[in-house]
Amino acid sequence: MKRFPLQQANKVRLIDDFSINGVNAAYGLREKLRVQAIDELCSYLAYILDHCDDPVALELVGRTFELKQAYRQPGVDTYHHEPLKIAVRRPGGSYKLFRVGALPFGAVGSVTAFLRISNCISFIFVASMALHLVLTAFFDDFTVVCSKPETTN
């Protein structure tokens, strides 16, 4: 497997190219992956502004939450943990095998699994009507908007 570095801001992330060994080609997906971007957030806010009569509720504030090391948090199922290994070439030509304990960054299936988790987190917050939150999920970034009095919660 080919591994290459990707510079992101002040860190370097290692990407494993799962297309070389055919893992990505062996993965199929029937549903369409969905992320929420600025369009959804603007639609939610426009609806609130058009339908809210409470001036206090219209004092909106927001922020973005990011999951730290998001792909390292969801683990690999114990059934797959033992046989799932990545071979990395050492200087000189020999190889070393590494177990994969978390979603491998660079595998198509990891993106799907993580987006399902992200959408579940979003659904839990949005479905709980008692929270009165506007929340959008874009991979591991969650944008939350609420009224100013609700920020203490």
Tens-digit pLDDT profile for residues 16-42: 777 877 777 877 778 787 788 888 889
Question: What's the confidence (pLDDT) of residue 118?
Answer: 85
Query: Distance (Å, rounded) from C-alpha 151 to C-alpha 39?
Result: 23
CA distances from 73 to 22, 81, 121 (A): 25, 14, 14
Question: What's the confidence (pLDDT) of residue 148?
Answer: 83
Q: pLDDT band for position 115 (50/70/90)? A: confident
Question: What's the confidence (pLDDT) of residue 1?
Answer: 63
Tally the domains of the chain: 1
Residue 136 burial class via C-beta count within 10 angstroms: exposed 0-12, middle 13-18, buried 19 and up? buried
Per-residue pLDDT for 125 more than 80? Answer: no
Per-residue pLDDT for 5 more than 80? Answer: yes
Question: For 109, which DSSP code?
Answer: H
pLDDT tens column, 46-105: 888 888 787 766 788 888 888 776 666 777 788 877 788 878 788 898 988 888 888 777
pTM given for the model: 0.67
Per-residue pLDDT for 106 more than 80? Answer: no
Per-residue pLDDT for 130 more than 70? Answer: no
Question: What's the confidence (pLDDT) of residue 78?
Answer: 80
Q: What's the mean pLDDT when you consider all of the chain?
A: 80
**Shortest CA distance to 143 belongs to which of 58, 59, 8, 38?**
38
DSSP string covering 16-62: EETTTTTTGGG---SSPP----HHHHHHHHHHHHHH---TTTT-EEE
Question: What's the confidence (pLDDT) of residue 132?
Answer: 64
Q: 7: how many CB neighbours lie within 10 A of its CB? A: 8
Query: Distance (Å, rounded) from C-alpha 18 to C-alpha 101?
Result: 16
Domain that holds residue 129: 2-152
